[in-house]
Structure 1
């Protein structure tokens, strides 16, 4: 099993349980995390805050990984997520996440996804 496999499994467990600690444990002490916002999260405390904030967006969420690969210190995961935002809006969106891996730990996490899924349509 690769670190990427461990990461995917830990993320799915966090989504089911709401507990991010097994996922955070995969991150290196000096990890950096980025999504489509301008913000960067750093260190394990940053990883914990990132993943708690992520899960906090949803009533429920489930990521299904459609393709993954790890080679030469880079893990690539293509995924589809379905669930429900806080407040009841159903959503489905797709994206790609990249992890830099060293010594069995995540050194950097970057994710790119269809952010339009998070915007509620407005009545005209």
Structure 2
């Protein structure tokens, strides 16, 4: 099993259980995480904060990976996520996540996705 496979499995487990321990354990001590915001999270404490914040945005969320590949220290994952934002609307969105892998651990995590899915739909008149 590749590090990318382990990452996808740990993320789905975290989404189901709310426990990010196995996911955080895959991150290197000096990992850097980034999403579409300008914020950067660093280290395993940062990874825990990143993933806990991700899960806390939803009443439920499930990522399905449509394609993945790992080669020369780079893991690429295409995915579709469906769920419900915390106290709000249903959503479905797609994205791509990239992980740089060093010694079997995630050294950097970057994710790009359709942020429009998070905007509350306008009420019908």
CA distance in 2 between counterparts of 1:108 and 1:49 reads: 15
Which residue number corresponds to residue 71 of structure 2? 71
Which residue number corresponds to residue 55 of structure 1? 55
1:15 Cα offset (Å)? 0.1
Which residue number corresponds to residue 26 of structure 1? 26
Equivalenced residues, count: 124
* 5+ residue gaps, structure 1: none
Which residue number corresponds to residue 80 of structure 2? 80
1:29 Cα offset (Å)? 0.2
Runs of 4+ in 1 over 3 A off after TM superposition: none
Which residue number corresponds to residue 10 of structure 1? 10
* TM-score calculated relative to the size of structure 1: 0.98
* TM-score calculated relative to the size of structure 2: 0.97
Which residue number corresponds to residue 98 of structure 2? 98
What is the alpha-carbon root mean square deviation over aligned residues?
0.8
